[in-house]
């Protein structure tokens, strides 16, 4: 078996718990190890299959095309490593003439675990759209995700990738809550910035244009992910029904975060920064495992201000199905708060969720 394509291979996202409830660690550790063991084996078995199918080649070509389209001058590409305690800042520095195969020689695979933490700020019923920026200021971020069924090694077509992240100063749209910016800002319920869904194509791929997230109290910089399968698209371009085989969060290298945080308007946020190494969700998703829920990335220009392109391949157990609690839902007459499932909803308010559990 050739593992070359999995050399830079990241297993991601394994905080296991019952839906909506953060389980005691004793349970989750055993379950997580079992899952990791099985899933890792499944993905190892997938490696050859994906190569033969030409999927990795197409993924490399696609990512390269996105990069070519959006980049300015020099590209600095960095590979993920398998644990968060290591620096993800790679020494690889390439120019625009570097070949695609060199740039994308490692194809990170991130196993989407049976639910990680949804957190308290999911808004259900957001729009299906690729550009979720809504004119929010900050560093442009393009993300490319490829979803693979870990049981069949086939790409998962027609999966809806639901993402949400806070803006450059650490506030989520769609939520009115004192733990989310100005708790008196009722107008925020109607905002939809940095939230949306995209459908995967026949290669299991979907893309977004968003804005690099800022930070808020108790959490490192992250992007929330829900994967929907068998869902129905409504005439107003939102999703209903189906099931959720994954809930999780994706992360960025600390040095990249630091570069972004030094820029305006990120640097106007006076809330103290929590680094990856101190983040409980990063720990949940990486401890006792080779899990690496970090984006591999390249800069689109000479500086981070020009934009960032992040990519990841995600392995999903499509047989699994979980509940995701939401803090609000979007309707034709604006956002509506669901206070009963608000703070603590995603983590049950207990376990390692706590006040920083979002
Ligand atoms: C991760 O980093 C360590 C040390 O920094 C290195 O020895 C190892 O080869 C790296 N692994 C991958 C998969 O890049
Ligand atoms: C982030 O979002 C909040 C809520 O809409 C807003 O008050 C704040 O100005 C935004 N940050 C920036 C830098 O625009
Ligand atoms: C996938 O999910 C099914 C249903 O929950 C479960 O029985 C199976 O063990 C899971 N597979 C892995 C690798 O965790
Ligand atoms: C979309 O349509 C559904 C079904 O009619 C409705 O419940 C929902 O409020 C609508 N959402 C938006 C954002 O218009
Ligand atoms: C949200 O938008 C709806 C119309 O879509 C409007 O009726 C409502 O007043 C708005 N709410 C706020 C708080 O601005």
List, for residues 271-310, the tens digit of each pLDDT value: 999 999 889 888 877 765 555 688 888 888 888 998 888 8
7 domain-assigned: no
**Within a domain: 10:** no
Indicate whether 55 belongs to any domain.
yes
Q: What is the CATH number of the domain that holds 23?
A: 2.60.130.10
- Domain containing 78: what range? 18-337
Which residues are within 8 A (CB) of 229 and not within 5 positions of it... i.e. 6 or more apart?
156, 158, 159, 160, 242, 243, 244, 245, 318
Which of the listed residues 174, 191, 240, 332 should we mutate to test ligand 4's pocket, taking the one with most ligand atoms within 8 A of CB?
332
Per the prediction, the chain carries an average pLDDT of 74
Residue 351 placed within a domain: no
Q: Is the pTM of this model over 0.85?
A: no
Q: Which ligand is nearest to the CA of 8?
A: 1
Q: In 83-199, at which residue ranges do the beta strands (DSSP E only) sit?
A: 109-112, 123-124, 140-149, 160-164, 195-199
Tokens of 238: 């939102």
Three-class SS state of 210:
strand
The response to whether residue 180 sits with its C-beta less than 6 Å from ligand 2 reads no
Does residue 99 lie in a domain region? yes
Q: Classify 229 as helix, strand or coil.
A: strand
- Does residue 64 line the site of ligand 5, with CB under 6 A? no
- Measure the CA angle with vertex 148, ends 152 and 109; round to 5°: 120
How many structural domains does the chain have? Answer: 1
Q: Is residue 130 part of a domain?
A: yes
In testing the pocket of ligand 5, which one of 187, 190, 330 has its CB within 8 Å of the most ligand atoms? Answer: 190
Distance, in Å, from the CA atom of 352 to the CA atom of 358, rounded to the nearest integer, reads 11
Rounding to the nearest 10 degrees, give the CA dihedral for residues 295, 284, 259, 311.
Answer: 10
Q: Is residue 171 in a domain?
A: yes
Question: Does the beta carbon of 320 sit less than 6 angstroms from any atom of ligand 3?
Answer: yes
Ligand 3 centroid – CA 281 distance (Å): 22
Which residues in the chain come in under a pLDDT of 50? 1-27, 29, 72-83, 85-109, 112, 114-115, 341-358
| pLDDT per position as a tens digit, 101-151 | 443 344 444 554 544 677 889 999 999 999 999 999 999 999 988 888 877
**Residue closest by Cα to atom 1 of ligand 1:** 81
User: Ligand 4 centre from 348 Cα, in Å?
Assistant: 28
């Amino acid at each position: 078996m050739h593992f070359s394509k999995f050399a830079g291979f990241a297993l991601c996202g394994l905080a296991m718990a019952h839906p909506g409830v953060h389980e005691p660690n004793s349970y989750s550790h055993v379950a997580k190890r079992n899952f990791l063991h099985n899933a890792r084996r499944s993905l190892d078995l997938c490696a050859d299959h994906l190569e033969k199918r030409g999927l990795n080649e197409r993924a490399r070509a696609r990512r390269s095309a996105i990069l070519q389209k959006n980049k300015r001058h020099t590209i600095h590409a960095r590979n993920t490593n398998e644990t968060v305690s290591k620096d993800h800042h790679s020494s690889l520095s390439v120019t625009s003439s570097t070949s695609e195969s060199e740039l994308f020689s490692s194809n990170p695979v991130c196993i989407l675990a049976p639910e990680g933490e949804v957190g308290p700020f999911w808004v259900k019923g957001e729009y299906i759209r690729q550009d979720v920026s809504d004119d929010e200021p900050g560093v442009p971020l393009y993300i490319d995700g490829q979803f693979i069924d870990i049981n069949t090694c086939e790409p998962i077509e027609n999966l809806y990738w639901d993402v949400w992240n806070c803006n450059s100063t650490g506030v989520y749209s769609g939520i009115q809550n004192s733990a989310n910016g100005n708790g008196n800002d009722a107008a925020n319920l109607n905002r939809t910035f940095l939230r949306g869904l995209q459908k995967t194509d026949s290669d299991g791929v979907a893309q977004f244009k968003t804005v690099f997230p800022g930070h808020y109290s108790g959490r490192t910089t992250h992007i929330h992910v829900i994967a929907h399968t068998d869902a129905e698209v409504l005439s107003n371009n939102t999703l209903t029904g189906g099931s959720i085989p994954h809930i999780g969060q994706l992360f960025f290298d600390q040095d990249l975060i630091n570069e972004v945080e030094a820029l305006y308007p990120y640097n106007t946020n006076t809330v103290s920064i929590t680094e990856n190494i101190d983040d409980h969700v990063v720990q949940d998703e990486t401890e006792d495992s080779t899990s690496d829920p970090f984006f591999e990335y390249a800069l689109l220009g000479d500086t981070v201000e020009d934009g960032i392109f992040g990519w990841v391949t995600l392995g999903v157990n499509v047989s699994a199905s979980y509940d995701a609690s939401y803090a609000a839902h979007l309707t034709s007459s604006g956002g509506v708060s669901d206070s009963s499932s608000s703070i603590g909803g995603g983590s049950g308010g207990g376990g390692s969720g706590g006040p920083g559990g979002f």
